[in-house]
Structure 1
């Protein structure tokens, strides 16, 4: 047996224990197959010692989703038989096996049956279930290439149904909307993971498919994401233009919740320009619209799953932080964290790091370090969080090199990179 040094190194980089890796792999397996995985600490121990050199297919796919890389890059060695079975084939088999029930049988049958069939509500329900799983995975982890890859595959599945049978115009429009929804999730995962070239490519496909759906709610999501993409790229003019497309759609005029999100993201973009008056004006519009939104209204799952008062305050935090309004930023951070829903782990971590930045900028060095150190280890491996924490460390050192808080942070980051047991 040869110990798996590559996997141990990857776990160390993420400060991940055997138990934590087992939980994450089991969660990914559930997303992939619909059933929880059975990976245990003993299973992970066998991977690390080399007792298991090539895990089963579902586990390999799940590991790839957790670490954003191939099994070979994780130190696993395929058997001669495994070399003839591409990982993509495993993913496809697992997708079909996971579907379950009538709708799953319909999808599997259409892949092999030459004769056309009627595409109906069951197909749409399956796609909607898969979309909910993608959104839930994004809320837990965010930014992972595994989420992006799955979303693209599911978009292709939705588009392929257009060619596999007959359907009413309503069903066809809904299929295009489903495909656009998946592509918008792929786009967001790429943005969140700092894969901006991929995000731009996903936006082009998502926008064209959404236009064919005639669904202004998914068009809003895509163009709102585009505004966020250009904001992260440091292109506020393009960001404002893209977000204006979203804000001009019928859904934003009709539904105050969509209007509120559009205004809040506009405020975050204005923060890049340092225009405090524009930030406050947009946030005021966002709050007014949110206060008018009817909680009982029927809306797409993707917006109700994340946008609320906590998210509005999070965007206000981002806006004021970019504009240099440190006290306002801190106030919104505390409010957002107090209201944040438990499932939004990645968002809570990002808000926490932004709070640390706001505290540091005000000279509150000890509280800032304590806040940054409170980010959970599993969340600190997220690409955005990792970058924000690294920038925090740089700013802290520039401001208070050699001080006790600086030394505390340096020791903390060093200890956090220790090899897991």
Structure 2
């Protein structure tokens, strides 16, 4: 049987400098971060992808590859495996169909020979794998309305599946946990896109589902997200109260990674109140606590996918910008960008825009413009926070830099971006 080589994958690997063995190692590591279980690929597996013998990797491997490359499956030359038709229908239509079917069944009575469906851990595993895809999309794009709606629809899918049959208490709790994971991702996408009313609606649903799941890790995620939401809304008192709820959960006493994230986010909240010393102390403590963490301890996909020292630096960069400590912000910006994982396209764009602002405020206009030009056009077009940052950068450049030179270069760059759909 003839098969065409995957030229898109081969071209990307050459561009990124990956050998087959190197890429196998990197994908295995990313699969481990996403699923808690390391991947089993070797260089022959990658050669199968390159040759076209394997039309599409397994779901976890594909999600990991998208994270690493920052590209979609299609852009890498793969065609996703088709899913059963019911999963492709819009959630509202599917729920309406199920409701109609249920009413019809109630009218005529179920066939006596048909056993009720049993929802099991295999169903939970399939739902949880789709969560890895949501996390991958968030790190590539972030803040998109499509990500928010997709995550919310998957939460509804999990609940619909749970209602379709009987389940043990363990399965029921796990499925509620999956539903709340999706809903909390929808909440984060809304926060990242500055759709705060929608974020609060997702938060209320997520909090209810979290109680049904009994999962303390997802309770932490929801309350920690709430702290970030209120901080972005300019309400630091509520941000501190929400983050205190997250930090007060018992898992923060058991796992240094959760404790560290709580401290780092509290550092950003301290900065929002103007408390410079408390902010610096919190970031220092966050790094110290993180060093005590056992890297082999199993943790949730969403946490493994983003939290490390570079995230502490990202939060510190934001905090010191708000405090007007430009030199310290710049130092954290450089450290953050040096430590970000390759797939974190959204985080890299945000950190780059913030770094440019820190340099500009130190009257290093030419350096700042060179840095700002590194922000990808797609991020400026598709991410509300990045677009807002670049707008502020443009305004401040006009106030600080003299006409001509780098100011004109930046204006021309912005015009070219606008022609490509970037505002």
TM-score normalised by L of structure 1: 0.74
Per the alignment, residue 236 of structure 2 pairs with: 236
Aligned CA distance change for structure 1 residues 269 and 342 (closer, same or farther; 3 Å): same
CA deviations over 1:93-129 (Å, ceiling 9, x no partner): 47359xxxxxxxxxx9999796631111111111111
Taking the aligned partners of 1:167 and 1:383, their CA distance within structure 2 comes to: 42
* Runs of 5+ consecutive residues of structure 2 not aligned to the other structure: 1-61, 67-71, 90-96, 106-114
CA deviations over 1:211-255 (Å, ceiling 9, x no partner): 111101000011110011011101111111111111011111110
Taking the aligned partners of 2:212 and 2:156, their CA distance within structure 1 comes to: 15
Per the alignment, residue 393 of structure 1 pairs with: 394
Q: Secondary structure at the match of 1:124?
A: helix
Per the alignment, residue 412 of structure 1 pairs with: 413
In structure 1, which of residues 82, 95, 107 is the aligned counterpart of residue 87 of structure 2?
95
Per the alignment, residue 210 of structure 2 pairs with: 210
Per the alignment, residue 311 of structure 2 pairs with: 311
Per the alignment, residue 128 of structure 1 pairs with: 128
Aligned CA distance change for structure 1 residues 401 and 246 (closer, same or farther; 3 Å): same
* Runs of 5+ consecutive residues of structure 1 not aligned to the other structure: 1-29, 41-57, 59-90, 98-107
Taking the aligned partners of 1:395 and 1:152, their CA distance within structure 2 comes to: 38
Shift of 1:387: 0.7
1:2-41 aligned at under 5 Å gives the runs 36-37=73-74
Shift of 1:360: 0.9
Aligned CA distance change for structure 1 residues 408 and 278 (closer, same or farther; 3 Å): same
Taking the aligned partners of 1:135 and 1:110, their CA distance within structure 2 comes to: 30
Which one is further off, 398-407 or 160-169? 398-407
Q: Secondary structure at the match of 1:292?
A: coil
Shift of 1:362: 1.1
Q: Secondary structure at the match of 2:419?
A: coil
Superposed CA RMSD in Å reads 3.0
Query: Alignment length, in residue pairs?
Result: 334
Aligned CA distance change for structure 1 residues 419 and 180 (closer, same or farther; 3 Å): closer
Shift of 1:302: 0.6
Shift of 1:162: 2.7
Per the alignment, residue 336 of structure 1 pairs with: 336
Aligned CA distance change for structure 1 residues 166 and 94 (closer, same or farther; 3 Å): closer
Taking the aligned partners of 1:367 and 1:94, their CA distance within structure 2 comes to: 53
Taking the aligned partners of 2:291 and 2:341, their CA distance within structure 1 comes to: 19
CA deviations over 1:130-185 (Å, ceiling 9, x no partner): 10000000000111111111111110111122322111111111111111100000
1:148-187 aligned at under 5 Å gives the runs 148-187=148-187
The 8 Å contact of residues 176 and 212 in structure 1, kept in 2 or not, is answered as yes
The 8 Å contact of residues 355 and 371 in structure 1, kept in 2 or not, is answered as yes
1:301 and 2:293 correspond: no
Q: Secondary structure at the match of 1:166?
A: coil
Taking the aligned partners of 2:404 and 2:325, their CA distance within structure 1 comes to: 26
The 8 Å contact of residues 117 and 166 in structure 1, kept in 2 or not, is answered as yes
Aligned CA distance change for structure 1 residues 36 and 399 (closer, same or farther; 3 Å): closer
The 8 Å contact of residues 274 and 324 in structure 1, kept in 2 or not, is answered as no
Taking the aligned partners of 1:333 and 1:162, their CA distance within structure 2 comes to: 45
